[in-house]
């Protein structure tokens, strides 16, 4: 079972429990506790996530804005948490580690643009309510469906990157590098 399915399941169970308690005890008004509990949960995630991500993983919480990785930059293990954000990853001049680099993007709404040279292998996975994908070979709109794309050279390439995106609305574009 995928992690996003577990998280969505927990949220649905909690909302169902609150709704049931509200029906059994009508004077209790459980609904007024939901927003504060969500804020507390978000605070716990912000504090504990960098510690539980593992060693060597760079965890960023930009919340709103743009994240651009272009030119000469080190591709490593990244985890990026957004509310609403735009990501641009240009792998044309990037420095890769031995093996595989992993980039994980968790957001509510996110725009992801990947510029990919021929010598870089890409594995792209997306789990979202709405996903709009435009790649070099196809275009696809998905609703409550997972996307998985892999370049033909992914397993054989010396430079490999795995990008995982989770969110409510994701717009993903993969373009070949002009180099």
2 sits in which H/E element: none
Q: Measuring CA to CA, how many Å separate 42 from each of 35, 47, 61?
A: 11, 9, 12
Asked whether residue 137 carries a pLDDT value surpassing 90, the answer given is no
Lowest mean pLDDT, pick from 16-20, 32-36, 80-84: 32-36
Q: Measuring CA to CA, how many Å separate 98 from each of 60, 102, 142?
A: 23, 12, 33
Asked whether residue 1 carries a pLDDT value surpassing 50, the answer given is no
How many Cβ atoms sit within 10 Å of the Cβ of residue 63?
A: 13
To the nearest whole percent, how much of the chain has pLDDT over 70? 79
Q: Which two tokens stand for residue 19?
A: 């709704």
pLDDT of residue 7: 64
pTM of the complete model beyond 0.75: no
Domains of the chain, by residue range, sit at: 1-52, 56-176
pLDDT band at 17 (very low <50, low <70, confident <90, very high): confident
- pLDDT, tens digit (0-9, with 9 covering 90-100), for 35-92: 677 667 766 666 666 556 667 788 887 878 899 999 999 998 998 988 888 999 999 9
pLDDT of residue 75: 92
pLDDT of residue 152: 92
Residue indicated by tokens 């716990």 = 44
Q: 155, 115 in Cβ contact below 8 A? A: no
Could you give the CA distance from residue 68 to residue 177 in angstroms, rounded to a whole number?
Answer: 16
Asked whether residue 173 carries a pLDDT value surpassing 90, the answer given is yes
- Residue 162 exposed, middle or buried by CB count within 10 Å (0-12, 13-18, 19+): middle
Q: Which two tokens stand for residue 129?
A: 């309510």
- pLDDT, tens digit (0-9, with 9 covering 90-100), for 84-105: 889 999 999 999 988 899 999 9
pLDDT band at 166 (very low <50, low <70, confident <90, very high): very high
Q: Give the HSE-up count for residue 5: Cα atoms under 13 Å, Cβ half-sphere.
A: 5
Asked whether residue 3 carries a pLDDT value surpassing 70, the answer given is no
What is the three-class DSSP state of 27? coil
To the nearest whole percent, how much of the chain has pLDDT over 90? 47
């Amino acid at each position: 079972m995928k992690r996003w399915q577990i998280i969505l399941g927990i949220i649905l169970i909690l909302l169902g429990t609150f709704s049931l308690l509200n029906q059994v005890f009508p004077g209790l008004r459980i609904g007024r506790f939901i927003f504060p509990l969500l804020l507390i949960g978000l605070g716990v995630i912000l504090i504990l996530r960098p510690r539980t991500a593992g060693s060597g993983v760079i965890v960023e919480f930009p919340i709103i804005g743009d994240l651009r990785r272009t030119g000469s930059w080190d591709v490593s293990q990244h985890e990026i948490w957004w509310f609403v954000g735009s990501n641009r990853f240009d792998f044309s001049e990037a420095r890769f580690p031995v093996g595989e680099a992993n980039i994980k993007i968790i957001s509510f709404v996110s725009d992801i643009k990947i510029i990919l040279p021929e010598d870089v292998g890409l594995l792209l996975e997306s789990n979202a309510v709405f996903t709009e994908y435009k790649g070099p070979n196809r275009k696809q709109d998905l609703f409550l469906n997972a996307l998985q794309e892999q370049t033909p050279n992914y397993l054989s390439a010396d430079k490999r990157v795995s990008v995982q995106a989770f969110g409510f609305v994701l717009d993903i574009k993969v373009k070949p590098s002009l180099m």
